[in-house]
Structure 1
Amino acid sequence: MAEPSFLTAVRESYDTVAAAYVERVPPPAAMDPLSRAMLAGLAELVRTAGPGLVADLGCGPGRVTVHLAELGVSAFGVDLSPNMIELARHAHPNLRFTVGSMTALEMEDDELGGILAWYSTHHTPPQWLPAVFAEFHRTLAPGGYLLWGDYVGDERLQPTRGYGQPVSYESYLLPLNRMVDLLEQAGLVVTAKLEQEPGGRANRPRACLLARKPEAP
């Protein structure tokens, strides 16, 4: 089966920008306090629920994966870009990083205590999001948590350059209530929402959603 064209575009684009991304994107310590608080909340919830792996999906060079590990969870990273994964492995050899796609995760059912999708789903066309969120539901253990964070809006972006390099990916910004609906249609229960107006380094509205896979009956 041929790979969807959007995955090819994302992989090739992030392979191209990987080195520039590391130079231009600030580390987690430079995030705004509310974003850091949401990450800390995910880590605490997973720790409280019991031992469980946390997958950082769309991990890029692994900085947020490391941040999660420093917050006391067993975190590993997955990214579509081999160049991003190579940078992550080189910088953080003590953690596990693998090449993979959110559309077909190479994980067992009910394997994960937590999933982080941190500014990593906006390159996914809306019609593919149900498949992605179904994979989140499949791989989360009952009672496991998802933290999703990204830009929100109602816009399709088609940039030709990113991080100073040529790119071919597109971005799809959806309203927050649409993201809530898609997660709930996948069987995940949204338990918290955070909306932030543009400010600081962010020039667009952004949001976080915390969701949980229901406990088994």
Structure 2
Amino acid sequence: MTEPSSHLRTTADAYDAMATLYADFARNALDPLPLDRAVIAAFAEFARAAGAGPVAELGCGPGQVTAHLRDLGLDVFGVDLSPAMIDIAREAYPDLRFEVGSMDALDIADGKLGGILSWYSVIHTPPQDLPPYFAEFGRVLAPGGYLLLAFFESEGEPVTAFDHKVTTAYRWPINDLAGLAEEAGFTEAGRILREPLEGERYRRGHLIMRRNEAR
């Protein structure tokens, strides 16, 4: 088995160490965020209409967004790099499937998925390492399947590292992130930029991308 890269080990260890605290923080995080819930609902509607297969939340953490997708009528499962997070998700939502895995090397057959939700889960990936993630998303998505990315937007700056409370993360220009997805065989379906709310530091970006029929 290939050893995980340094940033993957660092990220997994950091989330393992903070798993219980993070799960408590994230449990009701969507409740005061109508725009975030709206973009997730739009993604769910696209994925249902495409009818191309189950949906995976990649970087699912303690599972609360995976459960939200289930409540929106999707056949969904979660994958996360942190074993401690997966343990919490399995205990909290025993009716759902959760697996330990890395987004750049998924144990999923080609074209198996109808949708992927990446909810602030590529943010810890160094910029130079991100293109293979999009290639892997394209591999496991069926033609016509959908990808939803949520991330911290750079607000006119280039890709910028910042001191995320768990481990180093990166803010991206929304056009640059959309361009990486397009290079991997996706077409943009829509985007939302949300200004930071009280207690938030940065603008939030959301991209819905459709996997091209022919690559």
TM-score category (smaller protein): over 0.9
* CA distance in structure 2 between the aligned counterparts of 1:16 and 1:145, rounded to whole angstroms: 32
* Equivalent position of 1:150 in the other structure: 151
Residue matched to 1:10: 11
Q: Mapping of 1:153-172 within 5 angstroms?
A: 153=154, 154-158=159-163, 162=165, 169-172=167-170
Give the structure 2 partner of residue 186 of structure 1: 184
Are 2:72 and 1:71 aligned? yes
The alpha carbon displacement at 1:45 in A equals 1.1
In structure 2, C-alpha distance between the alignment counterparts of 1:34 and 1:156, rounded to whole Å: 25
Q: Which of 184, 200, 203 lines up with 1:202 in the alignment? A: 200
Which residue number in structure 2 is paired with residue 212 of structure 1?
210
**Structure 1 residue runs without a partner (length 5+):** none
* Distance (Å, rounded) in 2 between the aligned partners of 1:97 and 1:75: 9
Matches within 5 A, 1:3-82: 3-27=4-28, 29-50=30-51, 52-82=53-83
8 Å CA contact retained: 2:30, 2:36: no
> What amino acid sits opposite 2:17 in the alignment?
T
Alpha-carbon offset, residue 60 of structure 1: 0.3
The aligned residue for residue 100 of structure 2 is 99
SS for the counterpart of 2:208 is: strand
* Residues in 2 aligned to 1:39 and 1:66: alpha-carbon distance in whole angstroms: 12
Cα-to-partner distance string for 1:133-188 (whole Å, 9 max, x where unaligned): 000000000000001011111321245xx3xxxx5x31111211110111111111
CA distance in 2, matches of 1:29, 1:170: 23
Deviation at 1:111, TM superposition (A): 0.4
Moved more, 26-35 or 43-52: 26-35
> Is the 8 Å Cα contact of residues 113 and 141 (structure 1) preserved in structure 2?
yes
CA contact (8 A) 1:28 1:64 kept: no
Query: Residue type of the partner of 2:209?
Result: A
Q: How far apart are the structure 1 equivalents of 2:92 and 2:27?
A: 15
Aligned equivalents of 1:70, 1:182: Cα separation in 2: 31
- Whichever residue aligns with residue 5 of structure 2, its letter is P
Structure 2 residue matching 1:212: 3-state secondary structure? strand
Q: Which amino acid aligns with 1:52?
A: G
5+ residue gaps, structure 2, are none
Per the TM alignment, residue 29 of structure 1 is displaced from its structure 2 partner at its CA by 4.3
| Partner of residue 171, structure 2 | 173
Deviation at 1:30, TM superposition (A): 1.2
Question: Offset of 1:124 from its aligned partner?
Answer: 0.4
Q: Distance in 2 between matches of 1:49 and 1:31?
A: 29
The two structures have a TM-score, normalised by structure 1, of 0.92
Q: Deviations over 1:113-144 (max 9, x none)?
A: 00000011110011111000000000000000
Q: Quote the sequence identity (%).
A: 46
Q: Partners in 1 of 2:80 and 2:3 — Cα distance?
A: 19
Residue identity opposite 1:156 in structure 2 = A
Q: Determine helix, strand or coil for the equivalent of 2:130.
A: helix
